[in-house]
Structure 1
Amino acid sequence: MANSVFVPGHITGFFTIENHEITLKNGSCGAGFLLSQGVKTTVSKADELTVNVNQGDETVIREVLSILEIETDFKITQDIQLPIGAGFGTSAASALSLTLAINEYLNLGYSLELCGQIAHMAEVNLGAGLGDVIAQTGKGIVLRTKPGAPGIGEIKSFTEDVYIGWKTFGAIQTADIIRDPHHKDVISSSGLKYLELFESEPTLENFLSFSNKFSHDTKLMSDEVKELIDYFNSSSDILGSSMAMLGNTVFAFAYDEDALKSLNIEDLHIDKVNNIGIVYD
C-alpha cells in the first residue's frame, strides 16, 4: 500500500510581505505561476520511519511530522524535481505533498485547506517562504489577493497555454531577505504597486511587465541574471522575461517552444505553465 501526491513548483513574479503574529495569517500577496515539475511524495508501508529524499535534507519533512505529531512507522520518498532554494517553491511543495500523502495514507480525513495550513505553518516556521503553499493549491497563473494559509488567504487562478524557459544560477537565502527590514520595506512598497495594477487588469502581458519592473525596483538581481533577462527581452518572439522571487533564476515566456530553443541558451529548461495543479496517484 502506498499513496503518492504531486504538488507543482511555483515561481513568484512580484509580491508583498504581510507579516502577522498569527502564523496562519502570516504570508504574502502577489502573482506567480505553476510549473509542470514540482515535488512528488510517496508514503508507503515500512517497519520503521524511513526517509528517502533525492536532494536536499530532511528539514521540511521533520517539521511537518513535528506539527502533525505522528509517530506511525512508514517510508517517505520524495522526488524533488526542481533546484532547491532557487525560487521554485520546493520547500512548500515538499511540505504540502507530504502532508497530503500522509493524510491519504493514514485516512486522516483532513481537508485540502487543513493540509495546506499545516504545510504553511512548516514553511513559515522554517523561514523558507510566505506564499507558495496557497499558490500551489491553484492552477496556471495564480494571484494571491489575501495573505495567509489556505482557508485564510485568498487566490485567483488564470489558465494560460504558454511555454516557459528557465535557467538558474543558484540559490538565494530566502530567510535572509524576508526577515531583513530594508528588503521588506522595498519589496512590499514595490509589490503593492504592481499588485494593485495587476488586480485591475490581470493579463499575461502585465504579469511579465510588472515582474520585470519589480525585479529592477528591488535590486535583487545579480549581474548574470540581469544579463540573461536583457537577452531574452531582446527577442521579439519572447513575451517577456524576469527573475524568480526569491531565487537567482531567470524565466521567460513564449507561445512557441521553438522561440525558446532558438536562443541556444546553455542549460535552459523548457516547461509549460501547469493548468492542472495537484495530482493524487
Structure 2
Amino acid sequence: MTNSVFVPGHITGFFSIENHDVSLKNGSCGVGFLLSKGVRTTISPADELEIEVNQGDSTVIDEVLSILEVETNFKIAQDIQLPIGAGFGTSAASALSLSLALNEFLDLGYSDELCGQVAHMAEVNLGAGLGDVIAQTGNGLVLRTSPGAPGIGEIKSFEQDVFIAYKTFGEIETSEIITDSKHKETISASGRKYLELFEKETTLENFLSFSNQFAHEIGLMSEEVKNLVDYFNSSSDILGSSMAMLGNTAFAFAYDEDAFKNLNIEDLHIDKLNNIGIVYD
C-alpha cells in the first residue's frame, strides 16, 4: 500500500509575529495565498527506512519522525516543487504532507488537526516558520485571524479566480528574522495595522495594496525584488505586486495570464490561485 499527499505552497503578503511559550499557540496572524505547486509526499513499503528528497535535506522529515516517535521501516519520497527558503512555505508543506501521509500509511488514527499540530511543532522547533501550516489547510486567499497550529489558530479562506506570477532571487534566512527583536517589533506593528484594515474589507485589492505597503515599511526588500515589484506595479494590467514573506521573491496578481506573458520577464513563473488546497492521492 502506498499513500501520497500533496500540500500547496503558501506565500504570505503581510503578517504579525505572535509568540507564545506553548509551541502550539506560537504563530502568526496575516494574509497569504496558496499556489498550485507545493510538496508531494509519498510513503511506500520498504525493508528499511529510506528517505528520498529531490532538493534540500531531510531536516524537516527527521523532525516530524522524531515528534511522532515513528521507527517503522518504509520509504519516504518528497517532491518539493518550489524553491526552498524563498518564501513559498516549503518546509511547512513538507512537514504537513509527511504527517498526513504517515497517518494514513501507518493507520495512526490521528485527526487532520492533530497531524497539522505535529507539522506546526516541527516548524516552530526548527525556526522555519510560524503560520504556513495552518494557512495550508485552507484554500485560495487565506486570512489567519488567530495564531497557532490547526485546531488552535483560526483562518478564513476566500476563493478568487486569478493568475499569479512570481520570480525568486534566492533565499532569506527566516529564523534569523523572526527571532531578531528589532525585526519582530517592526514586522508585528506594521502587520497588525494592515491586518486590522484588511479585516474591515477583505478584498483582493486591499490584500495587494497592504502587502506592498507592509513590504516597504519593514525594509527587507532587496534591490532586485523592489525593482521587479515596481515594474509589475507600473503595468495597468497587473492588479498588484509585492514581496513574498519571508523570501527574496516578488509576486504579482492579474486576471489575465497574458498580462504576465506580455512583460517578457526572464524566469517568471505563472501560476493560478489554488482554490482546492490539500489533495490526497
Aligned residue in 2 for 1:29: 29
Output the CA distance in 2 between the equivalents of 1:70 and 1:59.
15
- AA aligned to 1:107 is D
- AA aligned to 1:85 is G
Aligned residue in 1 for 2:244: 244
- AA aligned to 2:160 is E
Relative to the length of structure 1, the TM-score reads: 1.00
The equivalences for 1:169-180 within 5 A come to 169-180=169-180
Where does structure 1 lack aligned partners over 5 or more consecutive residues? none
- AA aligned to 2:181 is P
**Per-residue deviation at 1:128?**
0.1
Partner SS state of residue 75, structure 2: strand
- Please identify runs of 4+ aligned residues in structure 1 that moved more than 4 A: none
The equivalences for 1:89-238 within 5 A come to 89-238=89-238
Q: Residue 54 in 1 paired to residue 54 in 2?
A: yes
Aligned residue in 2 for 1:83: 83
Partner SS state of residue 5, structure 2: strand
Alpha-carbon RMSD across the aligned residues, in angstroms, is 0.3
- AA aligned to 1:221 is M
**Per-residue deviation at 1:109?**
1.1
Partner SS state of residue 152, structure 1: coil
Identity, % of aligned positions = 80
Output the CA distance in 2 between the equivalents of 1:124 and 1:53.
21
Partner SS state of residue 64, structure 2: helix
Write out per-residue CA displacement over residues 181-216 of structure 1, whole angstroms, 9 at most, x where no aligned residue.
000000000000000000110000000000000000
Output the CA distance in 2 between the equivalents of 1:125 and 1:198.
30
Q: How many residues align?
A: 281
Relative to the length of structure 2, the TM-score reads: 1.00
Output the CA distance in 1 between the equivalents of 2:108 and 2:66.
16
Write out per-residue CA displacement over residues 246-266 of structure 1, whole angstroms, 9 at most, x where no aligned residue.
000000000000000000000
Partner SS state of residue 152, structure 2: coil
Partner SS state of residue 108, structure 2: coil
**Per-residue deviation at 1:139?**
0.3
Output the CA distance in 1 between the equivalents of 2:197 and 2:35.
24
Write out per-residue CA displacement over residues 157-185 of structure 1, whole angstroms, 9 at most, x where no aligned residue.
00001000100000000000000000000
- AA aligned to 2:218 is T
